[in-house]
A and B are shown apart, each in its own frame.
Chain A
Amino acid sequence: MNQSTKTPFVRLAKREAMNPWKAWCIRIGSILLALILGSILIAAIGKNPLAAYGTILDGSLGSKTMLRQTVRIAIPLLGTALAIAPCFKMRFWNIGAEGQITAGAIAASYFALYWAGKVPSALLLVIMGVTGALAGGLWALIPAFFKAKWNTNETLFTLMMNYIIIGVVRWLQGGPWEGRPGSQIIPEFDQDACLPRVFGVHCGWIIVLILVVFMFIYMRYTKQGYEIAVIGDSINTARYAGMNVGWVIMRTMFLSGAISGLVGFIIVSGADNTLHDGVAAGVGFTAITVAWLSQLNPFAMIAISGMLAILSKGADTLHTRMDIPASISDIITGTLLFCMLGCEFFINYQLIFRGSKHKHAPAEQKEAARS
């Protein structure tokens, strides 16, 4: 008994496996904790936390218009998270989705600007989508090629590629594609080049939902998905199993870039109806968070991207209605993400405090009875 005072105050033990429902309790608990921390912050600046949270929900889901705007924010997030999922599964750290979106947007914009009116609208949209995907895929293929051939660092490479392509858009804006001279703005697309609306939102949402199903099946049930999983675990094992690692890296990056490029097409054709240098608007980076939080599960990505969209839209309303600055909303979002990622630690490990009763108490009682 005197031993107990000498045991460490707290120690970590890896959990074998946890009940799914228990794991979900911890996840929900972490969200609650984040909300509590957020309310302390809101209260500290003299606002009513409950009203603020109510405003976030009301401002993002309260009316049809608001709901539509929220969905519009969620579409590119979800699409891009789907795009980077196979790369991350392969442990290829593609942080260049931003640039791949932009590459797709440029290609789609070319046809929107110069082919509108010459071909039927439906055909034009298909051409824009296909060329957008191709452009995104090719843009992503460059770092993949260098990785496969000379094992370059893909993280730096994909990141640097972002700045190049955004520079290209700036040049187009001020040069060849400039609308009114001196405006630095590319003109708005013809109606033919804009995605039609379904339930009040451009039909990009249908495309990304189809992609969710596609990506789920692709990653889980196809040979290519299997190759990606094996390479992500061990390149040596993949080689040993006769996989052409370089080829798979290039193919997967092309696919990833193509989906990002398609998202770029959806943004310019569905949401912005024009091209500008902020077309990707950080989506390529936020999507990394979405992909990680959903543990690369495409269906979970729907919920996570939806949640981030609600927070983002809600933050705008918070600013206009309650005069809570956007920076405060950012802190709340950051706290939430931190808690959600951090709670995985408590799902994988347990803390054992000094003197705490073990779960295997019956064994101890048996022992006590024996002695």
Chain B
Amino acid sequence: METVCAIEMRNITKRFGSVTANDHIDFSLNHGEILALLGENGSGKTTLMNMLAGIYFPDEGEIFVNGKPASIRSPKDAYDNRIGMIHQHYKLVDVFTAAENIVLGLHEGGKLNIKAANEKVRAICEKYGFDIDPTQKIYDMSVSQKQTVEIIKVLYRGADILILDEPTAVLTPQETDKLFAILRNMKADGKAIVIITHKLHEVMDLSDRVTVLRKGEYIGTVPTSDTSPQALTDMMVGRAVTLNIDRPRYEHPEQRLELQGVTCFDAEGVKKLDNVSFTALGGEILGIAGIAGSGQKELLEAIAGLYPISSGSILYSPEGKAPSNLVGKTPMQIKKAGVAMAFVPEDRLGMGLVGSMGMTGNMMLRSWRKGKGIFVNRKDPNALALQVWKDLEVVTPSTEFPVRRLSGGNVQKVLVGREIASSPSVLMTAYAVRGLDINTSYTIYNLMTEQKMRGTAVLFVGEDLDVLLELCDRILVLCGGKVSGIVDARTASKEEIGLLMTHIGGKEEA
């Protein structure tokens, strides 16, 4: 049993046009182990795993499943080989229930027996500790519940080799812990699990072995117990990288933004922000923490003028000028009133970038209205694109190459680079490092700190509490649309914030 690997890939090569995504990669996975597949953006992790899932077919090389040569031509072949992959983007039908989604596409003989399916789903939940109601509709589910459905879908099809592509990117710390407990249960059950991730502490916490890829090449595999985050980073990046975030103090912080009792409702009349009041100072990074959907997105959109505010005021005090109220102004008016805000939306491509345009076209989103006459100025945006390309080391063939076709990290760099280049006096970012590798994340952290030292008020919505505690000056915690508390990031503990995230004021209910 121990001698036969669950998966063995030998000399796998995959090319896309002139790009070699995987260059003669060897990979092995045992039953009853969790293997972390680590690498920077564009290092070929997802491509390699997609070849196991039947999405791509390797150009060269061989795949062995349980010691036998296998040819995986389609996702169905993958299931026949008992391999299942949970992708980053969930593929679920919103109006179906969990169980309906799970059985969707199965070719079982006879009539569809949804009751039996519900029972089978319940049994799987019980076995591994999932918390899902098979009859609940997908549109009623949180992101983490949707992910659970995807995992059960794979288990339902009998997979005993599971691949998870960045499963924690969208989860809160608590949800991540829950997921990891489940993955450990599966491991104990003899399943073989691959987890693709960027987060080193997760690798150290969860995995048995780590395989590192860099730029499409195989770097090595090490037992987790024999390595350290620093050593792994060095393998990933190919050179030594410092993992400390510099947090200097700005000398003269001054009030920049003051929210007083801001309350918002969504289209269905649900209260999204409830009497939110706080001040943001120029020259500080104000972290915003909270469970996903606690009002972070609405808060930033409300300040940017993209979300209707039903009551309350937002006072903005530009350097050396009298404060003015932003409520009721359109995004354009907020800009025209002299308010410079930079906003990195949660959903990078859908709101913030134009996928079909190149870097230049995307830089123009900030400046297209500038200048007299009917023609757009392409020269300045092009110069800016070249600068961002160089400064942030964006990997793209040219400034005209559609950003849709860049990897996630590079898309993010384009967006953040543009927002920072507008020299804002309030910089708001949401999940600026979501899905980014370590190297890029640290570039972004440094850019935030740079902005802070220029006297900018930075609002940083983040999900990694470790990072928030290291990067920010103060942290505001949202809980169900209310401000649960504001803590000093230099003295607060992770547990304190975790408690504030789930309980207003941080007090356990009796």
Name A residues whose Cβ lies closer than 8 Å to a Cβ of B. Answer: 3, 6-8, 11, 13-17, 221-227, 229-230, 233-234, 236-237, 239-242, 244, 358, 360, 363-364, 367
Contacts and interface: CB of A to CB of B under 8 A. Distances in A.
A40 B113 CA distance: 52
B349 interface: yes
B353 to A, nearest CB: 6
A233 B357 contact: yes
A360 B22 CA distance: 14
A226 B59 CA distance: 40
B412 to A, nearest CB: 15
A17 B357 contact: no
B349 A226 contact: no
B408 to A, nearest CB: 17
B129 interface: no
Interface stretch (B264-272, B365-373, B433-441): B365-373
A26 to B, nearest CB: 16
Please provide the 3 A-B residue pairs with the shortest distance between their CB atoms, ordered closest to farther.
A16-B17, A6-B71, A236-B351
Q: Is the interface of A mostly helix, strand, loop or mixed?
A: helix
A358 B364 CA distance: 40
Given A13-B16, A229-B356, A242-B331, 8 more contacts: A3-B69, A17-B17, A226-B368, A229-B357, A233-B356, A240-B306, A241-B365, A358-B59
B19 A241 contact: no
A11 B57 contact: yes
A237 B411 CA distance: 14
A234 B355 CA distance: 8
Contacts of A226: 361, 364, 368, 376
B330 interface: yes
A224 B374 CA distance: 8
A237 B374 contact: no
A237 B17 contact: no
Contacts of A8: 57, 73
B105 interface: no
B365 A237 contact: yes
Interface of B: 11, 13, 15-19, 24, 57, 59-60, 62, 69, 71, 73, 304, 306, 330-332, 335, 343, 345, 347, 349-357, 361, 364-366, 368-369, 374-376, 378
B77 to A, nearest CB: 9
Given A3-B69, A229-B357, A242 B330 contact: yes
25 contacts: A3-B62, A6-B71, A8-B57, A16-B16, A16-B18, A16-B19, A222-B374, A222-B375, A226-B368, A229-B356, A229-B357, A229-B361, A233-B355, A233-B356, A234-B353, A236-B351, A237-B351, A237-B352, A237-B353, A240-B306, A241-B368, A358-B59, A363-B13, A364-B60, A367-B24
Q: Is the interface of B mostly helix, strand, loop or mixed?
A: loop
Given A240-B306, A240-B345, A230 B369 contact: no
Nearest to B18: A16
B357 to A, nearest CB: 7
A72 B79 CA distance: 60
A234 B349 contact: yes
A163 B81 CA distance: 57
B364 A240 contact: no
Contacts of B330: 242
Contacts of B345: 236, 240
Contacts of B351: 234, 236-237, 239-240
Contacts of B361: 226, 229
Nearest to B15: A360
Contact of A230 (B57, B306, B331, B354): B354
A191 B365 CA distance: 51
A16 B402 CA distance: 12
A358 B17 CA distance: 11
A223 B369 contact: yes
Contacts of A241: 365-366, 368
A237 B365 CA distance: 9
Contacts of B376: 221-223, 225-226
Contacts of B17: 15-17
Contacts of A3: 62, 69, 71
Given A15-B17, A230-B365, A240 B352 contact: yes
B63 to A, nearest CB: 9
Nearest to B367: A241
Nearest to B374: A222
